[in-house]
Structure 1
Amino acid sequence: MGAAAGVAGGAVVLDPVAFPAAAATSQSRTITGHIAYGAPDWVYVPIEVPAGVNRLTVEYSYDRPPAPPGQNGNALDIGLFDEHGIDLGDDRGFRGWSGGFRTGFTVSASDATPGYLPGPVRKGTWHIIFGPYTVHPQGLNWTATITLEYGPDGPAFRPNPAPSRATGRGAAWYRGDMHLHTVHSDGRRQPAELAAAARAAKLDFIVSTEHNTSSAAGVWGEFAGPDLLIIDGEEITTRNGHFTALGLPPGTWIDWRYRAVDGALARFVQQIHRAGGLAVAAHPLATCVACGWKFGYAGLDAVEVWNGPWTLDDEAVLAGWDNLLVASVRERREDWLPAVGDSDAHSEPQVVGLPHNVVNASGLDRRAILDGVRAGRLWIAESAAVDLSFTATAAGRGAGIGERLRVADDAPVTVTLQVSGAPGCAARIVTDQGQRFATVLPAEGTAAVTWTTVARNSRYVRAEVRRQTPTPTTADTMVALTNPIFLGN
């Protein structure tokens, strides 16, 4: 056993598992191990794969004794790297990840378990990667059975990626959910079911964000269409929080094997940017183990302030994001961190499109959508039943969501919020001073609300629409919210 070279953070490599030269159509070996409490983040099991193998299969299990009060039990994730190695960020070696969602996987040239990449099983040192997500104080005992099958490769898998453009309506506002899962990670929806749910929610686009794997990119072409743009991405699940990579070229993989103290995040955000994508902090205050965001926001392109049904976590993230807006104004920065909202839907009854983003884009294509998100030209909706527009005007000039209205500090600015589909909801206008105006929309849910301010008193304005119905953790329910319009020179 030794330390894993080239991998950030704690990792160990166990003794290799060797197979004799092929003597039959298949060979299996069962191995066991113990992971102590306080384990490293990653445990690698080398597999010496001989020539002539056409399929590799792994099945694993581990003990799950009841957890002591106030502590965690055992949870063990799994994935695979091939003969190209396990160095941090070297995407040549990555062959798949299923986390704790499956008890095994298989890979061959023709097919692979969802979450894993089809391709030849070549001779060399492969690695099972175990991720001890949580470990019982008495430790974790695991068992893995590795099976190699021999013979010629079957027909090569042919990826069918989604096209980068759909028909669209030209320059328009497009609705899309940018954080979604299928069976290619820990979701239970098939890709066809997710695409159908997106269409039922009246979305124009979705972003596929499977945990730590690019495998879904190979199938989305079958389910996209002129009416639905499907954009590839990934949810990178580190031990110190999750972030999404939006708009990756099909097959691009972003590594997750680091913590905040490793100082590695900037490297992978740069990789996302070089690939033409965006990096978004996901559910920053989620309470699940390792879900809370610990890296800070430097270099990121947006923050997910609303994740799934509205909760106290979202309320707190929204308040923190608003403080970031104030800081950008105080420091007179033109760059600022836009807000996005996504369903993070994994399976029924989680609702695809609750919430989703309404993005002002020049067309329904990958580049235009990402440009709109990066610029903050978007607002967030509970569902497609809700619509709004939000503008600020002064001295014959106007600006919309994500833009700046350049105006003298004392010039009157008229802020207009038009809403439909929100009966009896409260419409609010928020500035760097907090909520400055509120009114209740009529029962029919359609109204135009205006408010006048000056830039000296309102360095930015943004809008919220809330249903006056409490959730289990909040006093009311968010229905829609906008990114800001900045005021002043």
Structure 2
Amino acid sequence: MELEPVRFGPDDVTRTVSGTIPYGAPDWVYLPVEIPDGVNRITVVYRYDRPTPPPGHDGNALDLGVFDAHAGFRGWSGGARDGFTISASDATPGYLPGPVHAGRWHVLLGPYGIVPDGLPWTVTVTLERGPDGPTFVPNPAPHEAAGRGRAWYRGDMHLHTVHSDGRREPAELAADARAAGLDYIVSTEHNTPSAHAVWGAYAGPDLLIINGTEVTTRNGHYAVLGLPAGTWIDWRYRATDGAVSAFVNAAHKVGALAVANHPLASCKGCGWKFGYEGLDAIEVWNGPWTPDDEATLGNWDNQLVSGERWLPAVGNSDVHGTDQIVGLPQNVVLADRLDRDSIVAGVRAGHLWIAESAAVDLDFTASAAGLATAAGLASADSADSAADGRSAGIGERLDVAEDTAITVMLTVRGVPGGVVRIVTDQGRRLVTPVPATGVVSWTTTPRASRYVRAEVRRGDTMVALTNPIFLGRR
């Protein structure tokens, strides 16, 4: 849906236009703005009516973004801001600094909800003329940090700052990540890569910052993890459009992953409706443990049982407000190094478990008879242990005959009073308090258990959750 263009005379500075988006309008309404030569800064401010909706209807809600006449996408703030400014030197967070090229720009209005009487809106565009100021110089984060060689690294892969609808400045988020004991984070602003250009100031040898985005459609959200700095992924489609696979494939071509975020979240447009074909992981734990997470975990486990293509489980904080806790939960990923490609590879392989905090640690292995030890296997070595074909770690397969006796061993630290659950394709097979030693062992065979995974809980609250170890030959 495209509206009549906004045009400026040679001496015009500000133009204000109004209209009403009718009930049942498309998801995206485009307001063309003709930018004349000589403009070095554009400011857009919008407002809209928000009457009390009648029963059974959503209230008015209107998202905001912009595309320019030259480069295309120039920014997005959804409903988090009432306007933006763009120039060669700077831009409102969520928007991309750069020259204000002459030509037809499009202010993007996204009606997220419309009452039956329609959504009245007003947009004011202000232009400034003159030479460009100093060119903005991006400062993206490096692709690697110091690390500890091949090891388990902790990170949060779903986070928001003021570059979308979060409340933290990037500096605050980086400080909170360090305080949480994280080795890496992934920047996942809604529908914009603007934060990619600033993370270099806050990364360091002790904190890897990976570029990503949360692609926020009207039929669900997915995180793209491991993007080259500045990469934009389009979000303007629904599940019925058949478009998502093209954008997931584009992410894969640059080495990134696509993760379905909070698939059963109840907020409008948050639940995942696209199916899981082509995706790389599922976020089964989002923020403090809730019934939504419990249901998502059950659905994910059902996919393991059904024999569908296995997608690793991940968990993230999805912080927005400053009262939310960075690293609750966090992903503990086995990686060769603390760099972008190694973390992405560890997530893709499912060499990952999820923890409530850095105070929680565990080892989880499966070994054929005679190889298990009372202390378990060292975490960093557990995935390597599969080389002899007689033991396996998280995300791996123990490739042995159907009736081979297998010892599953879980060592838990930092969860006094917790309860361990050992889960297989046959359901919960062991529920036991965490012993004083922290070591729980259980025996099975591939015939009895096609996979095995572990949970550690405090009452009904999840504290730690592993991806599966698969048992038996393919």
**Structure 1 length as normaliser, TM-score?**
0.92
Correspondence 1:64 to 2:46: no
- What RMSD in Å do the two structures reach over aligned CA positions? 0.9
- Partner of residue 382, structure 2: none
Residue 453 of structure 1 is matched in structure 2 by 444
1:323 Cα deviation (Å)? Answer: 0.9
Q: CA deviation at 1:70?
A: 3.4
Letter aligned with residue 406 of structure 1: D
Match of 1:320 among 296, 299, 314: 299
Residue 432 of structure 1 aligns with an amino acid whose one-letter code is D
SS across alignment from 2:442? strand
- CA–CA distance in 2 between the matches of 1:345 and 1:435? 31
- 1:112-162 per-residue CA deviation (whole Å, 9 max, x = no partner) reads 000000000011100000000111122110011000110000111000000
1:295-444 equivalent positions in 2, closer than 5 A: 295-328=274-307, 335-395=309-369, 396=371, 397-442=390-435
Q: Distance in 2 between matches of 1:313 and 1:215?
A: 30
Q: List per-residue Cα deviations over 1:40-84 (Å, max 9, x = no partner).
A: 100000001110000000001001111223321111000000003
Q: Does 1:214 align with 2:214?
A: no
| Deviation of the 1:201 alpha carbon | 0.3
Q: Deviations over 1:66-103 (max 9, x none)?
A: 1223321111000000003xxxxxxx300000000000
In 2, Cα distance between equivalents of 1:190 and 1:281: 25
Deviation of 1:37 (Å): 1.4
4+ runs deviating over 4 angstroms: none
Residue 144 of structure 1 corresponds to 123
Counterpart-to-counterpart distance in 1, 2:147 and 2:304: 32
Offset at residue 327 of structure 1 (A)? 2.0
Matched, 1:16 2:9: no
Q: Report the Cα offset of residue 348 of structure 1.
A: 1.7
Find out whether 1:123 has 2:114 as its counterpart. Answer: no
Equivalent position amino acid for 1:66 in 2? T
Which of 464, 467, 470 is 1:483 aligned to? 467
Within-5 A mapping of 1:253-292 = 253-292=232-271
Residue 190 of structure 1 corresponds to 169
Pick which of 176-185 and 129-138 moved more: 129-138
Runs of at least 5 residues in structure 2 that lack an aligned partner in the other structure: 372-389
Shift of 1:343: 0.2
Identity %: 70
| Structure 1 stretches lacking a partner, 5+ long | 1-11, 85-91, 469-475
* Distance in 1, Cα, partners of 2:285 & 2:57: 29
> 1:161 matched to which residue of 2?
140
1:283 maps to a residue whose letter is H
Mapped partners of 1:462, 1:311: distance in 2: 20
**C-alpha separation between the residues in 1 aligned to 2:98 and 2:34?**
17
- Number of residue pairs matched? 454
For the residue of structure 1 that corresponds to 2:166, the secondary structure is: coil
Partner-residue secondary structure (3-state), 1:17? coil
Cα displacement string for residues 250-281 of structure 1 (whole angstroms, at most 9, x for unaligned residues): 00000000001100011000110011100000
- Distance between the aligned counterparts of 2:396 and 2:179, measured in 1? 31
Say which of 140, 145, 156 aligns to 1:177. 156
In structure 2, how many angstroms separate the alpha carbons of the residues matched to 1:408 and 1:97?
54
